[in-house]
Amino acid sequence: MKILIARMNHETNTFSPVATPLDAFGRNGPCYGEDAYRENKGMRTAMSAFIDAARHEGAQIVTPISASANPSGPVAAAAYDAICNAIVDAASGCDAVMLDLHGAMVAENSNDGEGDLLERVRAALPEAPIAVSLDLHANVTQKMIDNADVIVSFKTYPHVDMYESGEHAARLLFDRVHGRARPVIAWSQPPLLTHTLRSTTAEGAMKRAVEAASAAERDGMLAVSVLSGFSLADIEAPCISVVVVGDGDREAAQRVAKRIAQQIWDERDAFVYRSEPLADSVAKGAALARDTDKPVLLLDHGDNCMSGGTCDTMDVFVEALKQGLDGMVTGPLCDPEAVAALYAAGVGATVTLYVGNKLAGNAASPRPPVRLTGTVRALTDGEYIISGPTYTGQRAFMGRAAVLDTGAAQVLVTERTHEPWDLGVFESVGIDPRGARFLILKSRMYCRPVFVPIAGALVECDSRGVTSSDYGLFEFGKLKRPVYPLDADTAW
């Protein structure tokens, strides 16, 4: 058996000004062929699970590409075409396909990045079974449903089951190949824009929806996925979905999809997050710091790296300075110009420079860069190995990194946008985050498995950047209306 295995991951924020060329996918672009295999073998991605399952079957494995980029603006047309062409061109002669996809890609030449890819793969291999692993934040489309035989998404956010979702999808594909199951797909999509901060699977309505999905699997469905969608995409329906893989009985699968979707719709207000004023959030953090000797996390979810943030919005830091906070560690702040200046000055130099607020596209009115004076404490290549639990073992690339010590804060400035996945973000530049009084992180969820255990408290802060939870800041032109919560009287 010859199996095509590939990875194409990008969550597209169509409101983000951060460009997404081909070299954004990886350190300097995607990995191809044997390099794509090596990048994933032994890791905890869905593609890793596909490789392990195919090896167990004794299959010949074809890995044309592994392409994963941080969330950002629409993918450049040339980049999208290059990735898709690599996958489709490798399809000839393959007996099955397993694709590790995000599910929320928008390109300059495609509003349905995964659906258009799957349509091309299906045309190239009309009879071959196709299994897909999706991110929990995928925006499911009819084209994706029509051109896949198996779809399984993550069941955790923060995502710590990427490998397990791939393992599940692979198992169902081989069950079909060996005649042990007849996978059929059904789905349901209420007109509901969820907020990412309400898609955590540890609590609330999302937890209850995922529990209902797991119960349906125990009751006989082959796979049941709740995909909260990614609403910061101006497409027809960036909405929550329920996808069910049944065993030969599509009508039964459709009943399950509709039932769980109805449960979600009945609790729709629980999927909506409403931010408090930023000054109130920072003041709350200051008060909490008086009762703990551990760091207080100030999470800047309005400029969240993993939702396409610019990572240079300075609102939270400026408000913290205004309120007299000290002992701060903040970053990574993306400002290549500032990094160059700090490198030119050298370690130990005292410098004055302007940092942040340089990339156009803030959802609120533009703000000027912030003038900072401090001492350069460290200069590094910005690389480290992620210890987990997300992307365990992978090498991370922040671009060149520099630390500016202003007295009140240690500011980590990098050339690339970067999620604080790991303590290594700071430890790699000589900062011990455990010693901070306040940690200002541009993150919503991915930092939590690592930073919450070392913290004394956590406060969510909305800087009104391009990942703000205030949908009123964004102009949706392609979105199908009515949709909740933009339209309070939406019926379904």
Cβ-proximal residues to 381 (8 Å cutoff; 6+ apart), any chain: 400, 401
- pLDDT at residue 360, as a whole number: 59
Q: Residue 63 — very low, low, confident or very high, per pLDDT cuts 50/70/90?
A: very high
Residues of the chain with pLDDT > 70, as a percent, come to 99
Q: Which CATH superfamily is domain 2-271 in?
A: Response regulator (3.40.50.2300)
The predicted structure's pLDDT at residue 378:
98
In this predicted model, what pLDDT tens digit does every residue of 279-327 receive, in sequence order? Answer: 999 999 999 999 999 999 999 999 998 899 999 999 999 999 999 999 9
Q: How confident is the model at residue 16 (pLDDT cuts 50, 70, 90)?
A: very high
Q: What is the mean pLDDT of residues 58-83?
A: 97
Q: What is the mean pLDDT of the chain?
A: 95
| Averaged pLDDT, 198-226 | 97
Tell me the per-residue pLDDT of 150-203, one tens digit each, with 9 for 90 and over.
999 999 998 889 999 999 999 999 999 999 999 999 999 999 999 999 999 999
Mean pLDDT to the nearest integer, 78-102: 98
pLDDT digits (tens, 9 = 90+) for 342-382: 999 999 999 999 999 998 555 556 789 999 999 999 999 99
Domain boundaries, the chain: 2-271, 278-468
Quick: pLDDT tens for 444-458: 888 999 999 999 999
Query: Global pTM?
Result: 0.92
